[in-house]
């Protein structure tokens, strides 16, 4: 089985978000980059499926050279090789076009990625890639097993979940608990250094541009209510906050 | 040129978040001097669908083929694309949701449309077509220019406040061509909690964390939620421990909610939890630890024992009715 896992290199979930250059650029200073948490679930399940069924796992990132530590970590976790499309990930349509263009040549059985990136949170790249390739996509997937050429999938829906079956090839947006996150071991880290990482140039252009960033207005002070008067909260929510 | 709004139905009624999209799309149509048409797929009465008119739409296209009764991403995307072409629409508006995202993405692929998600305000048309969207899981906003002829806008839940009028919309039957190739994914079984309020759609949410000490203590959380008419939610550790189902987990890797009121009981407020709730209009934190980081993100706080406070709040809500 040939599996492609698309990963994002994103600011750590605890990173302080700020902007520079007159609020036109994200401020990378002091920010640690990690594999997108949802992408990590996708990669971990891909490596498990490879262990069960044989085959290969290729990691794909659309990003600049500073994404390479994240890509090497994916190789250390168990991917066989990696491709980096040498461009900033600026627009969902653009990113999907890069993935679809590579997937159209390589004919993967499964294309996995996180349900969304944690920087722009759009959650549309899997659907776009699938449409560009003319195959089904499902998200958010919380369970995935493969039997022959059939995928057995559990997808989260509002207020519950549903079990589905579909034939490969498929594009899936993943989330917990599809697999436990894998931590690279020393042998993985050593072999990752020499695994192939191919850099290719992007095709086409995006359809949107992000011109300016803004931080939300600072939160006002928290109004503390003494525990002995807790009931007063309900009055305040009705008369002051006007949410009840 | 017109605006087409994709709506989702729940038990024959247009979902609240979809009505927000109808209002947004209708206001956008006004800005552009055009009209707003709604697409509804699935079973619903004509009177229910005509309500889209209260939110500004002039026409509702109703696709109600038996094969579309169960939501199907590919088939819905084909139906929406056909509606866009039939209406000559150049902008599609919808509410962000897992179905909405999936359908919108495929339509963007079919139409080569620019797509922007988590949009929080009407576009600025002074210099192109620029929308404001939420990014970094609610920690910042970005201004995004949409540069293609066809545009798709997925709005964030509870970001617009619709104003209802008495106007009504005409309802037309829409019979799209269905393609067998769109029905390849087989639904085996649906597992859905019955009769609970949908968490992503809820105006009011009561959420609890490890401070509740065990799943057997959730009764006091549910009692307050029932008294308020709120949905229940939980923190990640609670869902990881299987005290509560995953679809109730709010946070960075769970559901992101943006209700009018979010009450957090016994949740310390890790940054990953805040990421899922920071768009809530009013946040109440109840925790026995006065140093809990959640108080910094809260509007109202009570330092106290959840086992004492929650039942008293429930009583106060019932007494005030």
A233 lies in a domain? Answer: no
Residue A8: give the domain boundaries: 2-215
Calpha distance B13→B1 (Å, rounded): 28
Q: Name the one residue in this structure whose structure tokens are 């065990």.
A: B214
A24 lies in a domain? Answer: yes
Percent of chain A whose predicted confidence (pLDDT) is above 90: 91
Looking at every residue in chain A, the average pLDDT score rounds to 95
Calpha distance A203→A177 (Å, rounded): 34
pLDDT value of residue A43:
97
What interhelical angle do A92-106 and B98-111 show, nearest 10? Answer: 70
pLDDT tens-digit series, residues B181-233: 999 999 999 998 766 788 988 999 999 999 999 999 999 999 999 999 999 99
* Neighbour-count burial for B156-178, b at 16+ CB within 10 Å, e otherwise: bbbbbebeeeeebbebeebebeb
pLDDT value of residue A217:
86
Element (H, E) at B190: strand B186-192
Contact between B40 and B12 under an 8 Å Cβ cutoff? The reply is no
pLDDT value of residue B54:
96
A170 lies in a domain? Answer: yes
Per-window interface: B 72-111 vs A, CB < 8 A: 73-74, 77, 97-98, 101-106, 108-110
Answer whether residue B320 shows pLDDT above 80: yes
C-alpha distances out from residue B60 to B5, B20, B65, Å = 9, 15, 16
pLDDT tens-digit series, residues A56-90: 999 999 999 999 999 999 999 999 999 999 999 98
Percent of chain B whose predicted confidence (pLDDT) is above 90: 88
pLDDT value of residue B294:
96
Calpha distance A159→B260 (Å, rounded): 19
Give B147's contacts in chain A (Cβ within 8 Å): 207-209
pLDDT value of residue B193:
75
Counting Cβ atoms within 10 Å, is residue A218 exposed (0-12), middle (13-18) or buried (19+)?
A: exposed
Calpha distance B52→B22 (Å, rounded): 7
Phi, psi values for residue A126, rounded to 5°: -65, -40
Q: Name the one residue in this structure whose structure tokens are 């007063």.
A: A232
Calpha distance B165→B105 (Å, rounded): 32
Calpha distance B143→B281 (Å, rounded): 22
Stretch(es) of chain B classified as CATH 3.40.50.1220: 204-319
What pLDDT band is residue B308 in, cutting at 50, 70 and 90? very high
Closest Cα partner for A157 from B222, B12, B79, B255?
Answer: B255
B143, closest residue in chain A (CA to CA): A212
CB-nearest to A162 from B77, B190, B300 is B190
C-alpha distances out from residue B36 to A50, B43, B53, B111, B311, Å = 49, 21, 10, 19, 47
pLDDT tens-digit series, residues A181-233: 889 999 999 999 999 999 999 999 999 999 999 999 888 899 999 999 999 99
pLDDT value of residue B69:
87
Q: Name the one residue in this structure whose structure tokens are 């707003």.
A: B36
Give B302's contacts in chain A (Cβ within 8 Å): 224-227, 230, 233
Percent of chain B whose predicted confidence (pLDDT) is above 70: 99
Q: Does B186 touch chain A (CB under 8 A)?
A: yes
pLDDT tens-digit series, residues B235-284: 999 999 999 998 899 998 888 999 999 999 999 999 999 999 999 999 99
What pLDDT band is residue A160 in, cutting at 50, 70 and 90? confident
Q: Name the one residue in this structure whose structure tokens are 């797509």.
A: B115
A138 lies in a domain? Answer: yes
Q: Does B196 touch chain A (CB under 8 A)?
A: yes
Looking at every residue in chain B, the average pLDDT score rounds to 94
Q: Is the peptide bond before A169 cis (omega within 30 degrees of 0)?
A: yes
Cβ–Cβ below 8 Å for A238 and B97:
no
| Token code pair at residue B275 | 């990421």
Answer whether residue A12 shows pLDDT above 80: yes
Q: What is the number of domains present in chain A?
A: 1
pLDDT tens-digit series, residues B54-73: 999 999 999 999 999 888 99
pLDDT value of residue B98:
87
CB-nearest to B188 from A37, A165, A210 is A165
pLDDT value of residue B195:
61
Q: Which residues pair with A144 in a beta bridge?
A: A153
CATH topology of domain B3-183: Rossmann fold (3.40.50)
User: How many CB atoms lie under 10 A from the CB of residue A25?
Assistant: 11
- Three-class secondary structure assignment of B270-306: CHHHHHHHCCCCEEEEEECCCCCHHHHHCCEEEECCH
| Token code pair at residue B58 | 């002039």
Stretch(es) of chain B classified as CATH 3.40.50.620: 3-183
- CATH number of the domain enclosing A132: 3.40.50.620
Calpha distance A209→B269 (Å, rounded): 34
CATH for B204-319, options being 3.30.390.50, 3.40.50.1220, 3.30.565.10, 2.60.40.420: 3.40.50.1220
CA distance B58 to chain A (A): 29
Give B120's contacts in chain A (Cβ within 8 Å): none
CB-nearest to B192 from A160, A241, A244 is A160
What pTM did the predictor assign? 0.91
Calpha distance A36→B320 (Å, rounded): 46
ipTM over 0.95: no
Q: Does B247 touch chain A (CB under 8 A)?
A: yes
Contact between B116 and B135 under an 8 Å Cβ cutoff? The reply is no
pLDDT value of residue B174:
96
What average pLDDT score do residues A98-107 get? 96
Cβ–Cβ below 8 Å for B144 and A164:
no
A206 lies in a domain? Answer: yes
pLDDT value of residue B194:
67
A226 lies in a domain? Answer: no
């Amino acid at each position: 089985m040939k599996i492609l896992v698309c990963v994002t290199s994103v600011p750590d979930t605890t990173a302080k978000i700020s902007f520079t250059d007159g609020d036109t650029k994200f401020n990378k200073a002091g920010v640690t980059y990690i594999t997108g948490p949802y992408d990590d679930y996708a990669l971990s399940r891909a490596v498990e499926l490879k262990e069960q069924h044989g085959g290969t796992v290729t990691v794909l990132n659309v990003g600049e050279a500073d994404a390479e530590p994240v890509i090497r970590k994916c190789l250390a976790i168990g991917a066989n090789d990696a491709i980096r499309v040498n461009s900033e990930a600026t627009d969902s349509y653009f990113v999907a076009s890069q993935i679809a263009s590579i997937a159209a040549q390589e004919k993967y059985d499964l294309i996995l990625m996180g349900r969304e990136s944690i920087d722009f949170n759009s959650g549309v790249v899997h659907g776009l890639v699938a449409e560009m390739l003319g195959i089904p996509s499902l998200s958010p997937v919380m369970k995935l097993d493969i039997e022959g050429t059939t995928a057995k999938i559990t997808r989260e829906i509002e207020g519950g979940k549903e079990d589905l079956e579909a034939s490969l090839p498929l594009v899936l947006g993943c989330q917990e608990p599809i697999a436990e996150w894998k931590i690279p071991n020393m042998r993985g880290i050593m072999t990752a250094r020499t695994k192939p990482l191919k850099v290719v140039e992007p095709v086409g252009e995006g359809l949107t541009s992000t011109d300016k960033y803004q931080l939300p207005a600072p939160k006002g002070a928290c109004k503390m209510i003494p525990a002995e008067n807790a009931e007063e909260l309900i009055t305040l929510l009705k008369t002051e906050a006007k949410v009840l | 040129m017109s605006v087409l709004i994709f709506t989702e139905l729940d038990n024959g009624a247009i979902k609240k978040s979809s009505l927000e999209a109808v209002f947004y799309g209708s206001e956008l149509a006004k800005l552009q001097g055009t009209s707003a048409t709604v697409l509804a797929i699935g079973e619903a009465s004509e009177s229910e669908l005509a309500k889209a008119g209260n939110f500004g739409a002039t026409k509702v296209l109703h696709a109600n083929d038996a094969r579309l009764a169960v939501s199907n991403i590919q088939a819905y995307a084909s139906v929406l694309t056909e509606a866009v072409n039939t209406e000559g629409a150049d902008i599609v508006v919808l509410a962000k949701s897992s179905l909405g995202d999936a359908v919108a993405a495929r339509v963007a692929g079919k139409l080569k449309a620019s797509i922007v998600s988590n949009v929080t305000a009407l576009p600025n048309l002074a210099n192109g077509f620029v929308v404001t969207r939420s990014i970094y899981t609610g920690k910042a906003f970005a201004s995004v220019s949409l540069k293609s002829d066809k545009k798709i806008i997925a709005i964030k839940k509870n970001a617009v406040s619709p104003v209802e009028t008495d106007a009504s919309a005409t309802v037309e039957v829409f019979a799209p061509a269905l393609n067998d190739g769109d029905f390849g994914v087989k639904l085996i079984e649906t597992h859905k909690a019955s009769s609970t309020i949908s968490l992503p759609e809820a105006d009011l949410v009561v959420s609890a964390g490890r401070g509740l000490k065990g799943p057997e203590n959730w009764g006091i959380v549910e009692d307050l939620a029932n008294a308020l008419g709120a949905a229940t939610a939980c923190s990640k550790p609670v869902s990881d421990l299987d005290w509560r189902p995953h679809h109730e987990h709010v946070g960075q890797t769970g559901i992101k909610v943006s209700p009018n009121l979010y009450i957090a009981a016994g949740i310390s407020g890790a940054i990953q939890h805040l990421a899922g709730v920071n768009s809530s209009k009013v946040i109440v934190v109840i925790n026995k630890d006065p140093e809990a980081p959640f108080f910094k993100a809260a509007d109202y706080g009570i330092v106290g024992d959840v086992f004492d406070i929650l039942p008293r709040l429930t009583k106060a809500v019932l007494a005030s009715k």
